[in-house]
Structure 1
Amino acid sequence: MKNTKPTLVILAAGMASRYGSAKQVDGFGPNNEKIIDYSIYDAIRAGFGKVVFVIREEFLEIMKANFEEKLKGKIEVAYAFQDFDLRKFGIDKDIERQKPWGTAHAVMSAEPEVDGPFCVINADDFYGFDAFDKMAKFLTSEVHDGKMAMVGFEIGNTLSDHGYVSRGVCEVDQDGHLVDVTERTNIYRRDKDIVYKEGDDEIALPAQTRVSMNFWGFTPKVLEVAKGLFPAFVEKSKENPKAEFFIPDIPDHMVKNGITSFSVIPTSAKWFGVTYKEDKEMVQRSITELVALGKYPVALWEGVKAVNSSLYLDN
């Protein structure tokens, strides 16, 4: 049956090469809550009706053990697998790779579980309720094939203190629409400045620059466009084992070809996440502060109840 509430697609298949372990199931909250727990909690509060975990198949039992029981009766749960089988996307060849094909490929892998408006997020990023609330409202009242959205964070609120990060750097017009998004894979602080590397050059970015943190609001139209672009990407990149098909490449193509406009939903929230192991202490401290402020209960899931298939949270 078609879902009348938007779906949350969580990208959790990454190999965590810089972090060094399966950060998707690492504990950060007072009762060992994962970052994903807080994202799903906020999504339920905002009105999402289904969560789809995009994972590697070998993670399935771990994910079920961590999330299935606590989410039972609170939100519909499904799983999709990101793997190396290109034939499911109409590409009749085998290409040897150790690393998945990237975030856009992960979203394409979720297609069997998506039948209406959906939001895409990363598993290891803490976004805060404001982003989920604004996106849920957009997906239930504004979205259509010609109008989609992303939540735009300020670059100065999205950096790690322990190394470089990758961000989709956005150009936004005066009406709040996306003009251009470019994936920059080496952004960091240099003294008081924020810069990214391009070749041997360091190029400065203003702290208020809007960036994508992979918090996108789509219709299934985006899957159709991605599948159309993927074969050419694979052919171009088949000899490059590190090449990735990034989500921002798809909206960028759609905007520049007049297929869809993208609203950039602003938030001043401070992102935090675990790109590096050294980030863990900061994330734990940040969550502890939010709990102390009453933004989240100490025992997160004790505040969520199901009544006649409708969900509500105790205040």
Structure 2
Amino acid sequence: MQNKPTLLVLAAGMGSRYGGNKQIDGFGPNGETILEYSIYDAIRGGFGKVVFIVREEILEIAKEKFLPKIEGKIEVDFVLQSLTSFVPEEFQNPDRVKPYGTAHAVLCAKDAIAEPFAVINADDFYGKEAFEVLGKFLTNGVQNNLHAMVGYAIQNVLSDHGTVSRGVCSMNDSNQLVGMVERTAISRENGKIIANGDGESIEIPEGTPVSMNFWGFHHAVFSNIEKMWEEFLPANKENIKSEFFIPLVANTLIENGQAAVEVLEGGKTWFGVTYTEDKPVVIASLKKLHEDGEYPENLWA
């Protein structure tokens, strides 16, 4: 077993709102994907392995896109997420087309990871500082009942081109997560940050920490996830749109007193592509980071 933490990349999503496969679209000055920056930052943050969670139909595309650049620089593995992965036959529903969600994706990597690990989205830029702080936590601080997430201030993770979904966090005085509520329609309205949904509008104060799906786990969490998954399946067999999310896992562990989740202050810079209109902003942001010397002219030279 290696001592360095692993980076688990959630890359099986469809990118439906974006209108293309944003996980493999080029945004950097040399056509780099957003994910390449995360892998670069993970390597310099002390990570020793990257595991890609992908759908079978994009497996070869992902290998062709990433292996020539990163092979030899970090250990690489690929894991498939499908509608039958870890789903016993009696719970498989032929009418289901929607993936089971982020916690199911993590479960799919159970046999590929034996060390502390981080989880990220493939299409979010998280910033060098976030990988530094989480890499340090996963190397020195993580325990089988102590996990972490990197928090980002809500005013820094909105889109100018539509609403976004964010996990809005509540914390205690020890900077540990008390709970997280998924708000699915957040945007700026008249200078305020407003979450609309279920017939109500809620103002969210600027500076409120939110989850951008950048988690750090002890590998013992796999047994917790598997147990929750075994309860989720029979309860949701007929609900073909149900999803098994990481925040559900975190909230359940906290509520049951099984584990604590530390909220790390590493979320300095974030940008992502929710809508096609976000792409020029991301391209300009990456160009500036290269010009400022945050990244070399060529990531993999």
CA positional deviation for 1:219 = 1.3
After superposition, the Cα gap between the structure-2 partners of 1:144 and 1:74, relative to the gap in structure 1 and judged at 3 Å, is same
Q: Distance in 1 between matches of 2:231 and 2:122?
A: 28
Partner of 2:197: 198
Give yes or no for the alignment of 1:12 onto 2:21.
no
Secondary structure (helix, strand or coil) at the match of 1:101 reads coil
CA positional deviation for 1:184 = 1.8
Partner of 1:35: 34
Secondary structure (helix, strand or coil) at the match of 1:214 reads strand
Partner of 2:23: 24
Partner of 2:118: 119
Structure 1: state its 5+ residue gaps: 303-315
Q: Distance in 1 between matches of 2:87 and 2:116?
A: 21
Give yes or no for the alignment of 1:92 onto 2:90.
yes
Query: Deviations for 1:135-193, whole angstroms, at most 9, x for unmatched residues?
Result: 00000001011111100100111111111111111101111111111222221111211
Q: Distance in 2 between matches of 1:29 and 1:84?
A: 33
Partner of 2:218: 219
- Whether the 8 Å contact between 1:89 and 1:227 is mirrored in structure 2 is no
CA positional deviation for 1:201 = 0.9
- Whether the 8 Å contact between 1:182 and 1:249 is mirrored in structure 2 is no
CA positional deviation for 1:89 = 4.6
Partner of 2:258: 259
CA positional deviation for 1:234 = 2.9
Q: Distance in 1 between matches of 2:66 and 2:158?
A: 28
CA positional deviation for 1:206 = 0.7
Amino acid at match of 1:227: E
Q: Distance in 2 between matches of 1:52 and 1:212?
A: 21
Amino acid at match of 2:198: G
Q: Distance in 2 between matches of 1:138 and 1:169?
A: 22
CA positional deviation for 1:120 = 0.2
**Superposed counterparts of 1:175-186, under 5 Å:** 175-186=174-185
Structure 2: state its 5+ residue gaps: none
Give yes or no for the alignment of 1:289 onto 2:296.
no
Give yes or no for the alignment of 1:154 onto 2:138.
no
Q: Distance in 2 between matches of 1:114 and 1:207?
A: 37
- Whether the 8 Å contact between 2:91 and 2:233 is mirrored in structure 1 is no
CA positional deviation for 1:90 = 4.6
Partner of 1:65: 64
Amino acid at match of 1:78: D
Amino acid at match of 1:289: K
Moved more, 289-298 or 183-192: 183-192
Identical aligned residues as a percent: 49
Q: Distance in 2 between matches of 1:54 and 1:173?
A: 33
After superposition, the Cα gap between the structure-2 partners of 1:217 and 1:91, relative to the gap in structure 1 and judged at 3 Å, is farther
**Superposed counterparts of 1:258-277, under 5 Å:** 258-277=257-276
After superposition, the Cα gap between the structure-2 partners of 1:18 and 1:94, relative to the gap in structure 1 and judged at 3 Å, is same
- Whether the 8 Å contact between 2:113 and 2:219 is mirrored in structure 1 is yes
Q: Distance in 2 between matches of 1:295 and 1:3?
A: 28
Amino acid at match of 2:140: S
- Whether the 8 Å contact between 2:184 and 2:197 is mirrored in structure 1 is no
- Whether the 8 Å contact between 1:6 and 1:47 is mirrored in structure 2 is yes
Q: Distance in 1 between matches of 2:30 and 2:79?
A: 27
Q: Distance in 1 between matches of 2:55 and 2:246?
A: 18
CA positional deviation for 1:210 = 0.6
CA positional deviation for 1:200 = 1.3
Q: Distance in 2 between matches of 1:221 and 1:13?
A: 23
Amino acid at match of 2:282: V
Amino acid at match of 1:68: L
RMSD: 1.3
Query: Deviations for 1:285-305, whole angstroms, at most 9, x for unmatched residues?
Result: 110111111001121111xxx
- Whether the 8 Å contact between 2:115 and 2:218 is mirrored in structure 1 is yes
Amino acid at match of 1:46: G
Amino acid at match of 2:66: F
Query: Deviations for 1:252-271, whole angstroms, at most 9, x for unmatched residues?
Result: 11111111111100135131
Q: Distance in 2 between matches of 1:219 and 1:6?
A: 9
- Whether the 8 Å contact between 2:149 and 2:263 is mirrored in structure 1 is yes
TM-score calculated relative to the size of structure 2: 0.96
After superposition, the Cα gap between the structure-2 partners of 1:230 and 1:268, relative to the gap in structure 1 and judged at 3 Å, is closer
CA positional deviation for 1:237 = 3.0
After superposition, the Cα gap between the structure-2 partners of 1:186 and 1:91, relative to the gap in structure 1 and judged at 3 Å, is farther
Amino acid at match of 2:284: R
